[in-house]
Structure 1
Amino acid sequence: MGESLCVESGHLARTDWTETLVSKQLRKQEGGRRFGALAAVLAVAAVAATGCSSGGSGQQQDESAPLEVWIRQDAGSPAAESAQALTEAFSKKSGIEAKLVAVGVTDFETKLQQRTAQKDLPDIVINDTGQLGNLVTQGLVREVDREGVAGSADIADRAWEAARGYDGKYYGVPFNSQAFALLIRKDWREEVGADVPKSWDELTELAVKFTEEDPDGNGKDDTAGMVVPGTTTRGYLTWWFSTMLWSEGGGFVEKQGDGYAPAIDGAASVEAVEKLQAMFCDSKVVQPGASTADSSTTHTVFESGKGGIYLTGPYMLPRFDGSLGKDKYEVVAAPPGAGGTATALAEGENVYMMAGSANEKGQQEFAEFAASPAGQKIGLGVDNGGIIVRLPVNTTVDGAAERGDPRWDVFQKAYDTSGRNAPALPNWSTVRQISSEGLNGVVSDCSRDVAGAMGKLAGEIDEELEKQGAKG
């Protein structure tokens, strides 16, 4: 990446490379609204570099230095307890002291920016695969030698793919994966006399039945067939729609030469968006307020008996088993669409080895332990319900068998056979946000011409690709 590090009082500082990057980004983005957050973060990093010479040789290494480990979980939660168990098991095995810091879900990035400004990054960050581009662009993570990671051959290729940056290099060690599947009210489906849907069109037909045929038998018009987190916040609508769009044969972007080009205005994509708009505007199978709903809202809609079909991740099973009852719903792989192939959004988390650590050997040992069978089994949270490994990235671990619950295998098979990671752009999260705003526009305004709106969205994506240096 052309990055170098120097040390001031034992802490990380950025060099002229970051300052140059900030200048370029600000020139490209002057007057733009969507890259403001990235520019601000990079500017903070540049300020932190003040007084740091560009010829630094890096942090002096100490293989006994303690590690500070961050995870995006709320302190005191069962997930944080599992992370603490993972950290303690690593320390016991390695002899390296490791301290876990459970950083709240909502302010994780803010606190990481603050530590960047203080030139004092944690040693390890366990965070979403979707954040890889941001971390790499800021120069906050070290490159990973995939072949040099102990046990790397046992880690799923798809998980490694989500640890690879736009430049083809790896910047994290996989830790946790997931794919999306359908949770369908089995009792409702049997009540309306329908079979398990074999295509997205049949899925929509089932959603219509759930909406119109009073499947809960209460005599009221109060059920929605499809539960959709349609808000633009954090790009939720794009996040949900990805599985449907790809299954219908469309896409947000497509490879073109050494880069990418917009694909959202292609014929298959436009047809898929028209079907999405019809769910909101014609059949009206989505829950009331879907266009502004985030996942915290949609979870409640499904578990309260107001929605019948929910495309979500395996992490929701324990909650819904308790609130709704596991006998009330079934787990079904997302079906093929008009594209003829079933595709499910794949996501996960990586162990990121942060730049400037005094114990790089310890960083790698932690990442290797987290991805090992022992680390993965701790992360499953079988004993305490604190799930930080949803689907194991280590192919020698059978998560469904460890949990004694075959429903998890539906998600595992979807990940293995149909999973698709988000495009490896320098900053996919920005394109996701732009796409979500464009999609939300056509589901919020039923008179909106989809083809025209997607043409406009393609232009916005094209501009963003050029800003990121990723235009093919």
Structure 2
Amino acid sequence: MEVWIRQDAGSPAAESAEALTKAFTKETGLEAKLVAVGVTDFETKLQQRTAQKDLPDIVINDTGQLGNLVTQGLVREVDREAVAGSADLAGRAWEAAQGYDGKYYGVPFNSQAFALLIRKDWREKVGADVPKSWDELTDLAVKFTKEDPDGNGRNDTAGMVVPGTTTRGYLTWWFSTMLWSEGGDFVKKQGDGYTAAIGEPASVRAVEKLQAMFCDSKVVQPGATTADTATTHTVFESGKGGIYLTGPYMLPRFDGSLGKDKYEVVAAPPGADGSAALAEGENVYLMAGSANEKGQQEFAEFAASPAGQKIGLGVGNGGIIVRLPVNTTVDGAAERSDPRWDV
């Protein structure tokens, strides 16, 4: 079987995926070959294989791609009850494998919830507490921007690191945590369908708070409106920005480049409507047209099993392909011996 994952070849993440595939073969006797397809051109290459009517057997990819895969007819429906160990997989993760029609089109593999990474040394330097609201967070960002928290005597730090480009929807993606915590949303259920919710009062209030960060307090980094995450990762780790809302997959990189003692991991503060956080994940998709449907399901079951989830944690090599386990019998924070993952 051919297994595709959206990771760069030779990366630690690809190494973990290779270990997962080899462990599956050893466990089941079924031959499986991993293909690590680059992050930037994954969808393009998948469409090329679609045109050739020669899909891989398995694709591990974002939950956000489920709709595209279903509407193109590229994935098989999954019988949730027939998946070995399905009861151990988090219900929330199963929801992310569910299509608009209520059917399941993947087996959960990985989840993640975003948190704030805050320069702890800067916060202590300016004499501030951990922020308890979005307003306090903005106040801290102002201090990081104006009070020379790195002590170099230059006005060269930004409070908030924001991937503000509209490319691939990055700004909307980053902003969603703020939007939901204020009680707003992008769409809402109406009858048998959905209608826009972004123009409603709570949503507008959230957008105005976002606008104020750029235009009033001016706490975002220079060039934010064209920055994607490849850029913003560098801004944070190079000491040019103090607050970064991002995924837990960045912890190993920042531990090495910035230093584990320099920053803290904090849940995003509540807004007017309470707490919320952008959460994402990945599914194992059983691609249409495979000559080995039984093997496809066995691979998905192994990937979601405790053994598969622990390999994906990448504890030994930093190749994290399971950020937060979807299997409720696996404690990711305990496996990593790192309480920051509890956040």
TM-score, normalization: structure 1? 0.72
Name the SS of the counterpart of 1:327 in structure 2.
helix
For residue 258 of structure 1, the aligned residue among 192, 198, 202 is 192
1:346-393 deviation digits (Å, cap 9, x = unpaired) = 101100000011110110000000000000000011111111111111
User: Any unmatched runs of 5+ in structure 1?
Assistant: 1-66, 409-472
Is the CA contact 2:118–2:242 (under 8 Å) kept in the aligned structure 1? yes
**1:120 to partner: Cα distance:** 0.7
Distance 2:274 2:89 in 1: 29
Per the alignment, residue 222 of structure 1 pairs with 156
Per the alignment, residue 399 of structure 1 pairs with 332
Per the alignment, residue 187 of structure 1 pairs with 121
Per the alignment, residue 304 of structure 2 pairs with 371
Distance 1:212 1:385 in 2: 35
Is the CA contact 2:268–2:275 (under 8 Å) kept in the aligned structure 1? no
Is the CA contact 2:61–2:285 (under 8 Å) kept in the aligned structure 1? yes
Distance 2:10 2:147 in 1: 43
Distance 1:197 1:78 in 2: 34
**1:68 to partner: Cα distance:** 0.7
1:225-274 deviation digits (Å, cap 9, x = unpaired) = 00000001111001100001001111111111121110000001001101
**1:217 to partner: Cα distance:** 1.2
**1:394 to partner: Cα distance:** 0.5
Distance 2:21 2:275 in 1: 40
**1:172 to partner: Cα distance:** 0.4
Identical-pair percentage: 91
**1:341 to partner: Cα distance:** 3.1
Name the SS of the counterpart of 1:402 in structure 2.
helix
Name the SS of the counterpart of 1:93 in structure 2.
helix
1:166-204 deviation digits (Å, cap 9, x = unpaired) = 111110000010010000000111111111111111111
Across the aligned residues of Structure 1 and Structure 2, the Cα RMSD in angstroms comes to: 0.7
**1:339 to partner: Cα distance:** 1.5
Report the count of equivalent residues. Answer: 341
Distance 1:141 1:299 in 2: 33
Per the alignment, residue 299 of structure 1 pairs with 233
Is the CA contact 2:21–2:32 (under 8 Å) kept in the aligned structure 1? yes
User: Any unmatched runs of 5+ in structure 2?
Assistant: none
> Where do 4+ consecutive residues of structure 1 move more than 4 Å?
none
Name the SS of the counterpart of 1:86 in structure 2.
helix
Per the alignment, residue 360 of structure 1 pairs with 293
Distance 2:93 2:228 in 1: 26
Distance 1:198 1:158 in 2: 26
Is the CA contact 2:158–2:221 (under 8 Å) kept in the aligned structure 1? yes
Distance 1:290 1:92 in 2: 47
1:17-68 deviation digits (Å, cap 9, x = unpaired) = xxxxxxxxxxxxxxxxxxxxxxxxxxxxxxxxxxxxxxxxxxxxxxxxxx11
For residue 95 of structure 1, the aligned residue among 29, 39, 57 is 29
TM-score, normalization: structure 2? 0.98
Per the alignment, residue 264 of structure 2 pairs with 330
Per the alignment, residue 317 of structure 2 pairs with 384
1:110-168 deviation digits (Å, cap 9, x = unpaired) = 11111111111100000011100000010000001111111111111111111111111
**1:340 to partner: Cα distance:** 2.6
1:312-349 deviation digits (Å, cap 9, x = unpaired) = 0001001111111111100000010112334x011011
**1:221 to partner: Cα distance:** 0.9
1:421-449 deviation digits (Å, cap 9, x = unpaired) = xxxxxxxxxxxxxxxxxxxxxxxxxxxxx
Structure with larger Rg? 1
For residue 348 of structure 1, the aligned residue among 281, 286, 291 is 281
